[in-house]
Amino acid sequence: MEQMGELVGLQQQQVKAIGNLSSVVARSNEGIAVGLNMLGAAVRELGQGRKIPPLPSASSAIEDIELPAIPIRSLRNDAFEGESARRSVVRKPGPAPKAVDKPIVVNSYRDGKNHRKFYTMVQLPKALWEDFGFQGDDRVFIEREDGDTISIRRAEEGGVKLKKVTDTTVTIQTTRIGNVNFEVQRPKGSKGEIYLHA
């Protein structure tokens, strides 16, 4: 009977020890191993008919276990810095063509010898010319499309040579588009081509 009482007391201590261990399972695998070793030793003592000494609590068994501190602030900062570095890789779009301060003038005048022939002059700001990807020595195709729309494209071969290039303006002259007269404030186009519409 005395051994039965000790066994009941041992079981109660085991239940208490397991309950204490369950609260720290996530913190330390080593604490669980210590508790299991102590439980096995107690069972062996009981099998040999020895008096079972009181078991220390699981919390005291792992008090000496030093867990490494987690540098949460450092990890968060590293994460933010990595995200910032990834965002900085995004490339910015190139500069868009600028609106002209003065209108682009398209002006035609009749040939003095042939009344059916017209000379058309197109004068553009040089900065705008370069914004559309043109250079001062480019040759171009200049054509009249639907209505009063004029297209200017870079010519790889042939084309029209620029009439005049200064530090501020580029002038094109052609006799192929007839009688056209208008002003343009905001030309459209892309690299290597410009569209002028009345």
pLDDT at 151 over 90: yes
- ∠ CA 47-62-55, rounded to 5°: 30
pTM: 0.50
Q: pLDDT band for 91, please (50, 70, 90 cuts).
A: very low
Structure tokens at 170: 């580029």
Start-end of H helices in the chain = 2-22, 29-47, 58-61, 72-88, 126-131
From 113, 125, 134, select the one nearest 189 (Cα to Cα): 134
**pLDDT value at position 93?**
43
Per-residue pLDDT of 159-178, as tens digits, reads 999 999 999 999 999 999 99
pLDDT for the residue 121: 96
Residues 122-149: tens digit of each pLDDT: 999 999 999 999 999 999 999 998 878 9
- Do 154 and 193 touch, CB atoms closer than 8 A? yes
Q: Residue 55: pLDDT band by 50, 70, 90 thresholds?
A: low
Neighbour tally for 81: CB within 10 Å: 10
Question: What pLDDT score does 176 carry?
Answer: 92
Measured between its terminal Cα atoms, the distance across the chain in Å is: 114
